[in-house]
Amino acid sequence: MPKKITLILFTLFLLSYGSVAFQTPPPKLDSLKVELWPEYDRPETLVIYKGKLAPATALPTEITFILPGYVEAVHAVAVEQNGALLQVPPAEVKLTRGDQHGVLTFPISSDNFQFEYYDPTILTKQGQNRQLAYRFSASFDITAIAIEVQQPAQSLNFTLNPTATQTVDDVNGLTYHLVEVANLQLGSGFNLNVTYSRPTNATSVELLKLPASTPPPSAATPPANDNTSLAYILFGVGSVILLVIMAYFWSNRRRPVTKGRLKHPPIISTAEAKFCHHCGTALREGATFCHSCGTARRS
In a domain, 259, yes or no: no
Same-domain pairing of 165 and 228: no
Same-domain pairing of 147 and 271: no
Same-domain pairing of 191 and 239: no
Residue 285 has a pLDDT of 65
Residue 7: which H helix or E strand, with range? Answer: helix 3-17
Same-domain pairing of 180 and 81: yes
- The model's pLDDT over 10-46, given as tens digits with 9 standing for 90+, comes to 455 444 444 433 445 678 999 999 999 999 999 999 9
Residue 182: which H helix or E strand, with range? Answer: strand 175-184
Same-domain pairing of 114 and 159: yes
CATH number of the domain enclosing 64: 2.60.40
In a domain, 219, yes or no: no
How many domains does the chain fold into?
3
Same-domain pairing of 19 and 62: yes
Residue 76 has a pLDDT of 86
Which tops the pLDDT comparison, 176 or 185?
A: 176
Average pLDDT for the chain: 77
Question: What contacts 64, CB < 8 A, 6 or more positions away?
Answer: 13, 16, 17, 26, 103, 104, 105, 139
Going through 54-138 in order, the beta strands assigned E by DSSP cover 61-68, 75-81, 84-87, 94-97, 101-108, 112-119, 123-126, 129-137
In a domain, 213, yes or no: no
Q: Is the pTM of this model over 0.75?
A: no
Residues of the chain above pLDDT 70, percent: 63
- The model's pLDDT over 202-249, given as tens digits with 9 standing for 90+, comes to 999 999 988 776 556 544 434 444 443 444 444 454 555 555 556 555
Map residue 192 onto helix, strand or coil: strand
Whether the Cβ atoms of residue 34 and residue 142 lie closer than 8 Å to each other: no
In a domain, 257, yes or no: no
Same-domain pairing of 61 and 189: yes
In a domain, 258, yes or no: no
Question: Residue 100: which domain range?
Answer: 3-208
Same-domain pairing of 82 and 43: yes
- The model's pLDDT over 130-144, given as tens digits with 9 standing for 90+, comes to 999 999 988 889 999
Most confident of 25-29, 45-49, 277-281: 45-49
In a domain, 260, yes or no: no
Same-domain pairing of 278 and 169: no
Which tops the pLDDT comparison, 264 or 181?
A: 181
In a domain, 217, yes or no: no
Residue 10: which H helix or E strand, with range? Answer: helix 3-17
In a domain, 61, yes or no: yes
Alpha carbons 192 and 243: distance in angstroms, whole number: 67
Cα separation values, 210 from 75, 227, 275, 281, Å: 19, 30, 98, 96
Residue 247 has a pLDDT of 57
Map residue 287 onto helix, strand or coil: coil
